[in-house]
Amino acid sequence: MVRFFGIIVGLGFVSALIFSIIGSLPFEAAERTAVEDFHQKPRTLALASDGAFGKFDRKQLQRGLQVYNEVCSACHSLRLVSFRDIAALGYNEGQVKSFAAAHEVPSIDPDTGEPATRPGLPKDAFPSPYPNETAARAANNNALPPDLSLITKAREGGAPYVYSLLTGFRNPETYRNEKGEALPADSKPGTGLHFNPWFANLNLAMAPPLTSEGQVTYGPGNPKPTVDQMAKDVSAFLVWTAEPKLENRRAVGWGALGFLLIFTVLTYLSYRQIWADKKH
Amino acid sequence: MSFPWAEAYKPKSGFTQWIDERLPLPRLVYGAIGAGYPVPRNLNYFWNFGVLAGVALTIQIVTGIVLAMHYAANAGIAFDSVEHIMRDVNSGWMLRYMHMNGASFFFIVVYIHMFRGLYYGSYKAPREMIWLLGVVIFLLMMATAFMGYVLPWGQMSFWGAQVITGFFSAIPIVGEPIRQLLLGGFAPDNAALNRFFSLHYLLPFVIAGVIILHIWALHIPGSNNPTGVDVKSESDTVPFHPYYTAKDGFGLGVFLIAFVIMAFFLPNFMGHPDNYIPANPLSTPAHIVPEWYFLPFYAILKSFTGNFLWIPAKLWGVLAMFGSILLLFFLPWLDKSPVRSAKYRPTYRTFFWVLVIDVIILGYLGQAHPSNWTVLASQICTAYYFAHFLIIVPILSRIETTLPMPNSITEAVLSGEADEAHPVGVSATNPAHPEPAKA
């Protein structure tokens, strides 16, 4: 009885699928879209933190923090990171305090209760450049600059994507893809948009943020602040903001693996020993 | 329960005797997973996965309880509380990544466990109840995993909740009220998040309860084995301890190595980047996909595109998706072949491997960008999935010619090994009594 009803139900589902297939025929060839023809995969970016043994390059993270602080922070918040966290980049307590104090954070006037600001303390999170989303949109042609704390984990492609995007602005009039095609007129950026083949829909509201060598002044002993170098440094920094416990995680991982390898070898040997006289 | 030659528990000291007379817990353990439980001697590594599933559930419960001490089930701060765990809680990143990847490993282990059951016919008489309880556990796991994925309140959490609760609205008349009842509103919001958290904490303990029934039901007939032949004599079995405790210990080591590699070195490999964007009801992600372990069922859902027999396509999809799991409840009665193991069912084995590949392709199609060809492929694969369980297996179980089976587990173990050393007192030409019976 179960088999009889099973076959009936099975034929029902199969018929519905055959009906679905017939209904969708003949296939209409889908037109290729500009995104399929022009969107680029992220360029390769090698960072010191890559790989199972990777460690952050602290000098690079400090440069990246400088790029964020002087360029990105004009529009983008970093709300999940606190000033105290930058001690992990190799700053001492005094440096963290003075870095924090250089930022104004929202506060309440202790005398009047009115909204006010005060110099930041290490416990404070990086302040947002705008008081709220509406203000952020109003200042940016109705586009909302995303928070950057998790950006390298929240985008397909991670840090290489961020690096590619920052260095990927092209002139829509002269740009040619690998096949030598020019951008079709209806895919050209509208008012207030900027062409970037690494962006999901090719045109984004952010203007090229890193435009010229020396936009940020690196201290002595650092590489030249070319656009490419600044983009790399800030991408490395954003890997750290998204995953501050990365090095700790890998260290614990290696410890756990070492323990488990010994454990597994021992259990394998005892398994062999116990089964030695049993065919199985 | 168990076999007549099972070793009986004998208290070794006055103290254990005192315990045994008042609370015979050591006796229970001895008979369930100790030397008092005879198990077929020929189990292969596929039989490790039941224990591993139990370990995976334990990892989830232990990490989950600690995570719940730091997590805040409130739509306003849920996302930030998860990041607080990742950044500020001592070893919070480890708890969270273990919990996140532990869910995936639980499903990997359970899928292999189900593969084992299907290949070796473990669902057949007298083990139907074990199989039915297993399907119940699987359904509870899916519900738990879905609600757990909603808790971080990222974009995929929110839109996944939107899509999955939306399935219920395909049911005529009562569908929309059911959906609102599940969500506690018209769309996922604080009410939904709170009840999902409550149920996500509850269901693992329900799973643990059903696992106890699952193991209880297992101990009535005892484990199946790769030959599918019943245990006939003491020489067919070994005591669970130390033989299988040792083998499971080794399997556990291998499992944990794989788990540590993923949780500590590739923690986000099985996740989706969009879930690191806070939930935003006003912005739909370009491509909503469930977690990988739901992808074959998601492909089945999407493959029904025509309104057939006055039933709208969406309802067909929902019926098929639920039906694809519910049909497993009927499998012991759909497959009446007396031969359990696919080892001796060559035709079934071929169709079964096609099913395995079919489900893997469905998983790929579940996350692929939809095009004419992926939809057509998922329609064909879905048709095979239903045809396999509901048409091919019932017919095959009547007409298939099976291969000759060994007379006993011991014979199967010892056959083909005539030139190897044999256990004491056994001649290769007389495999019927390969070992002297133990006193």
**B414 domain residue, yes or no:** no
B312 and B251 housed in the same domain: no
Mutate to test the interface with A, among B45, B77, B265, B420 (most CBs of A within 10 A): B265
Our CA-based measurement puts residue B423 at a distance from the nearest CA of chain A, in whole angstroms, of: 7
pLDDT in tens, B320-342: 999 999 999 999 999 989 899 99
Angle at A230 between CA A225 and CA A235, to 5 degrees: 160
Domain with residue B255: its CATH number is 1.20.810.10
In a domain, B6, yes or no: no
Q: Give the residue from A7, A18, A19, A20 with the most B CB atoms within 10 Å of its CB, the best one to mutate.
A: A20
Tell me whether A253 touches chain B (CB under 8 Å). yes
Per the domain annotation, does A17 fall within a domain?
no
Q: Are residues B130 and B277 in the same domain?
A: yes
Q: Is B219 annotated as a binding residue?
A: yes
Same domain assignment for residues B299 and B342? yes
Test B86 with A19 for CB contact under 8 angstroms: no
Contact B95, B66 (CB under 8 A): yes
Contact B240, A274 (CB under 8 A): no
Find the mean pLDDT for residues B242-267: 96
Mean predicted confidence (pLDDT) in A129-147: 92
∠ CA B363-B368-B372, rounded to 5°: 110
CATH number assigned to the domain comprising residue A56: 1.10.760.10
Per-residue confidence (pLDDT) for residue B418, from 0 to 100: 41
CB contact under 8 A, A3 and B336: yes
Q: Tell whether B58 and B82 lie within a shared domain.
A: yes
Cα separations (Å) of A186 from A34, A169, A183, A203, B229?
A: 9, 18, 8, 11, 69
**pLDDT reading at B425 higher than 70:** no
A18 — contact with chain B (CB < 8 Å)? yes
Is residue A72 annotated as involved in ligand binding? yes
Q: What percent of chain B has pLDDT over 90?
A: 72
How many Cβ contacts (< 8 angstroms) between chains A and B? 174
In a domain, B415, yes or no: no
Nearest neighbour of B390 by CB, restricted to A10, A250, A252:
A10
Q: Annotated catalytic, B427?
A: no
Selected residues 207-236 of chain A with any CB under 8 Å from a CB in chain B: none
Confidence at residue B61, expressed as pLDDT on a 0 to 100 scale: 97
pLDDT at B426: 43
> B303 and B237 in one domain?
no
pLDDT for the residue numbered B274: 93
Q: Do B253 and A27 touch (CB under 8 A)?
A: no
Q: Which position among B248, B274, B358, B411 bears the catalytic label? A: B248
Interface check for A261 against chain B (CB to CB < 8 A): the answer is yes
For residue B217, tell me if it sits in a domain.
yes
Greater pLDDT, B102 or A187: B102
Residue A134 has pLDDT above 70, yes or no: yes
Whether residue B301 sits in one domain with residue B282: no
Asked whether residue B204 falls in the same domain as residue B330, the answer is no
- For residue A77, tell me if it sits in a domain: yes
| pTM metric for this prediction | 0.91
Supply B411's token pair.
Answer: 């014979």
Catalytic residue list contains B248: yes
B203/B320 same-domain check: no
> For A150, which residue in chain B has the nearest alpha carbon?
B276
Tell whether B396 and B277 lie within a shared domain: no
Range of the domain at B57: 29-288
Tell if the CB–CB gap between B253 and A263 is shorter than 8 Å.
yes
The model's confidence at residue B416, banded by pLDDT at 50, 70 and 90, is low
pLDDT at A183: 83
A9 belongs to a structural domain: no
What confidence category does residue B349 fall into, taking pLDDT thresholds of 50, 70 and 90?
very high
| Contact flag A200-B286 (C-beta cutoff 8 Å) | yes
What ipTM goes with this model? Answer: 0.92
Q: Is B291 one of the catalytic residues?
A: yes
In a domain, B416, yes or no: no
Residue A130 in domain: yes
Reduced to 3 states (helix: H, G, I; strand: E, B; else coil), residue A44 is coil
> Are the Cβ atoms of B42 and A268 closer than 8 angstroms?
no
Is pLDDT above 80 for B428?
A: no
B250 min Cα distance to partner chain A (Å): 5
Instruction: Establish whether B84 is an annotated binding residue.
Output: no
The model's pLDDT over B141-154, given as tens digits with 9 standing for 90+, comes to 999 999 999 999 99
Q: What is the CATH number of the domain that holds B396?
A: 1.10.287
Selected catalytic residue, list B124, B241, B247, B343: B247
Nearest to A2 among B249, B309, B330 (CB): B330
Contact A252, A100 (CB under 8 A): no
Task: Show residues of chain A in contact with B93, CB under 8 Å.
Answer: 245, 248-249
Mean pLDDT calculated for residue range A9-34 = 83
Tell me, yes or no, whether B20 lies in a domain: no
Whether A279 contacts chain B with CB within 8 A: yes
Same-domain check for residues B75 and B176: yes
User: A37-64: per-residue pLDDT in tens?
Assistant: 888 899 999 999 998 999 999 999 999 9
Tell me which chain A residue has its CA closest to the CA of residue B258: A257
Q: Which of B223, B235, B378, B408 is catalytic?
A: B223
Domain end: B263, B288, B313, which one?
Answer: B288
The answer on B372 and B237 residing in a single domain is no
Average pLDDT over residues A184-192: 83
Residue A260 lies in a domain: no
* Residue B45 included in any domain: yes
What is the three-class DSSP state of A164?
A: helix
State the nearest Cα–Cα gap between A224 and chain B, in angstroms. Answer: 33
Whether residue B432 is predicted with pLDDT greater than 70 in this model: the reply is no
Of these residues, B219, B232, B314, B422, which one is catalytic?
A: B219
Are B258 and B332 within one domain? no
A103 is in an annotated binding site: no
Count of domains for chain B: 2
The chain B residue lying nearest A10, using CA atoms, is: B390
Question: Mutation test of the interface with chain B: which of A7, A13, A81, choosing the one with the most B Cβ atoms within 10 A?
Answer: A13
- Identify whether B313 is part of a domain: yes
- Mean predicted confidence (pLDDT) in A72-98: 94
User: Residue B415: pLDDT band by 50, 70, 90 thresholds?
Assistant: confident
Whether residues A200 and B253 touch (CB distance < 8 A) is answered with no
Active site residue B247: yes
The range of the structural domain enclosing residue A205 comes to 34-81+125-250
Coil, helix or strand at residue A236:
helix
If one counts the domains in chain A, the total is: 1
